[in-house]
Structure 1
Amino acid sequence: MDSLEKQLICPICLEMFTKPVVILPCQHNLCRKCANDVFQASNPYLPTRSGSLTSGGRFRCPSCRHEVVLDRHGVYGLQRNLLVENIIDMFKQESSSSKPPPKQQEETPMCDVHEEEKINIYCVTHNVPTCSMCKVFGDHKDCEVAPISSIYQTKKTELSDGIAMMVGNNDRMQGIISQLEEACRAIEENGRRQKTLVCEKFDQLYSILEEKKREMSQKVTAEQEEKVNYIRGLTRKYGDHLEESCKMVEMGIQTMEEPEMALFLQNSKPLLNKIAEASSTAHLEKVERGYENMDHYSVSFNKESRALRSIDFIQDDEDEDEEDEDAEAGDVEGDGAQTVSGGGAVSATSVPPSAPQQISSTPSAAKSAVST
């Protein structure tokens, strides 16, 4: 019977279930009044009618914390547990017939000072239970006392209200925790999305820089090939002239070996004319000093570097629209840093794009002066 009685105790009021008993979706039982109290504590802002909640809502089971969702009938829409009600009736009948009254008297605690006196009154002044002898002759003779039964009901009601309030506070705390967890998930998702947007903006900036690098490299490569081809052409011309001069030298040596003076004089005249022509390099082009220099293609990105280091998130939607229009324009001639659109809630000073970078490039030097 004692074990059965423990199973019939309401977890809210800590007393035996009172009719009607409602069964929750998690199969735990509550007094309807206690279920209504927990529901009101969990939903303080829902409308009421005649002191009872009849609209839909939710609360958590005080036994297993399972969330109970109610329909528009509220607590009155929960199913009654007729089996438990019948068991309670049978238990009360069995208890009243089999449980002897003296047993309750034996369980009454005795006074510590007057060991033969039962504790039957309550000292309101010191908030402790005591016996009648303590009130007449003992430490509580000048104190205010009250019947222990009335104080028992008052304290039990206070404890029941406190438990119901704690259950409501726990439900509200659980709701706050759920909201914080949802906020965490939203922040993580928003952070991932904004990181993707920032990376896309930087990828666009990288593509612009790569395009400008390719264009400038092509200019340098074009002049490099032009100058190299010109120098190689001159090299071939000077090589041909050198080969002709070597042939003249060989013919001169052969002529020097001619023993016949008349024949020598006859052959030397045209040979001397050819040697004079071969010795002249006036018809060959000459490369001016510094022709191989390519320093006129030097660049400076000091302004752009400062602008890139000052890149930050935009401040509002208007700045974002302006920067997007600038980005679509292309900045083909080497604009400064492009402001990255971070979007969302990040607030910072926007950075205007810097002036186009001027690349010093002079026309290539004159190839050579032709000697006549």
Structure 2
Amino acid sequence: MSGISRRSSILVPIKNIERELICPICKELFTHPLILPCQHSVCHKCVKELLLLNHEDSLSTDAGSESSLPGSPRSRVPSPSMERLDRLVRSGSISSPGWRRASITPRITTFPCPGCQHDIDLGERGISMLFRNFTLESIVERYRQAARAAVAIMCNMCKPPPQEATKSCMDCKASYCNECFKLYHPWGTPKAQHEYVGPTTNFRPKVLMCPEHEMEKVNMYCEVCRRPVCHLCKLGGSHANHKVTSMTSAYKILKEKLSKSIHYLISKEDKVRTQISELQVLINQTEENGETAEREANEHFDRLFRILQGKKEDMLRSIEESKTRRLGSLRGQVDEYQGMLENSGLVGYAQEVLKETDQSCFVQTAKQLHIRIQRATESLKTFHPAADPTFEDFVLDVSKEEALLKELSFGGVPDPPVIDRIRSRVYNEGLICWEIPEDGLPTDQHLLEFRKRGGGEEEEEEGAWRVREKVYGSSSVVCDLDGDSVYSFRVRTRRDEAFSSYSPEVSFHTPPAPVFSFLFNDKCGFSPERLALSKPRDSVESVAGLPFLLAAERVQTGGYVCLDYIIGDTGISQGRHFWAFHVLPHSYMVKVGVASDSKLQEWFHNPRDTSSPRYDHDSGHDSGSEDTCYELSQPFTLVTVGMGKLFIPKGSAAAAGDHGNRVLPMPQRIGVCLDYEEGRVFFYDADTMRCLYERQVDCSGTMYPAFALMGSGGVHLEQSITARRLAYGAAGH
């Protein structure tokens, strides 16, 4: 441990630890620091100032003396003034609300810790319950000496001029030169046994005393309160029910932990220096990039301003030219009409011409006069201003531009979106949804990327990322995905020219075959009294009504309550097909699978046949032979789902073994794949495409999706993604 200490002192000179020695209140080096319950340290005088709240303590003793400080072995010796104050309080001579019996601590003993801002309640005894942090005092003193360097500590006993001290006595609380130390600590006297150290001005007691029990030494450590305590505190004090350890054990454990932590920090010094260098590089890059961004922003706005200024000048010039032209036309028209008023002699002249009786002379004179009169007449009949006084053709519609300017984003790089696995799914197509971050804008573009993942040894040879067109919104449909493949998806946001980082990749497994679309058929085995179809015929629910109760009475006479069957209305006669659905979580029992039409008519024709859906095959005995007999006789290949579980049939090779291998948690979505040519049916967890069960099936005729329900429950077919998105779009518009 000493090696570690020496090494740490070499690596971290004491002059470099100044910020650890500053009081958070006065911002100066600690003076008689006290340890608060939250383990932070504060100067004694600072705590006192906080508690007194500008109330002058005229009766207290000197705060700088050792006898007045808590944690000191002499602090419990009452002074005469304190005794007189105590007697006055007991006798009732004074009743100041600011003081309590046997204490000079104010009633206000709660204040926020300046280090952690937690409220500190010192209780009735106030700061007298706090320990002095002698270790911190010693470190501060060593720091002061290191800071003074050439300033020596002088002997307190020498006659002027004093000599430089070589020793300090912790019992006498004084410093001595060699001669004075021999003089005041002669051999053979009790003073010769005093403890002495190197020259120091920090004299602390030899033993730390308990603040609560004045004459007891602290020799244990309370792990609950994280402070030293004495044996009386443990026996009947405030720490009676707390877990305490011996001071020796606490010392070893804490010292070992601190030493390990210091050793770890020292061992990582090179790494820390490297990280500091990297941070400095980032700081420089941030400054340079910030200046570049400011310069580019100024350039962009200056360019916009120049364009707008140019447009403004062109617009104003066009308006001015049009105004000048229109004013000229209107003023010319005013002059013309003004001339008509001023030339009223034309009318008198015309009247005089009318007095001419000689026809030849009249015609000769009146022809030109008639033209002038006719022009004036037409002008009065069809008055039109020579120019339009409005400037509607110069009115600008800048609403679109204003909207674009308002939508300009200067928020920097947007936050990345996150793909929502719950809303996203892959069925006939891939529907990928993501959560838009809080700083998202309507103008943000989202780029969805996907790629096909390899498998096995080809894991390293994954396909290249393909990018969907820019998407405005929080979802996108991905088409043309290969079947029975795993695809990875990721998305990022583009705002102006800035791109966010990519979202975490999310993988989906496509169905193992093309998706088969069908609706429920109520012609075969359908009981409208006990099954309810939805209007789109894409879901069916079991209705436990009166007919179900009446049928249940047959149990008392040896009869059985039967299953209610329903099949799809489209058959499969070739190829591989996949469909998916989900069973309501509260469903009691639902059987799902496929049915053959070659036996359907015969099977439904005789309802008393033991393999008919009107006859319950389960007698209540759990025997493998009974299940095998039933499966051989029925045209259905079924898996049972109910009560949150999925049950694999007995007798199958895939389900051989104990009962636990046959019972699986019910998936959120169940997928069924029928391979007609191979004559096999597969049952999947449609979310992960993990095959749960497969078996051989007789595909001698047309095969139909089949379902059977008993008790409360329901089946909902999976909707195709394209139809669902169209429905969402219609609802949105």
Larger strand proportion of the pair:
2
Q: TM-score range by the shorter chain?
A: 0.3 to 0.5
User: Which of these two proteins has the greater Rg computed from alpha carbons?
Assistant: 1
Q: What TM-score do you get using the length of structure 1 for normalisation?
A: 0.36
Larger helix proportion of the pair:
1
- The structure showing larger relative contact order (alpha-carbon pairs under 8 Å, at least 6 residues apart) is 1
Q: What TM-score do you get using the length of structure 2 for normalisation?
A: 0.21
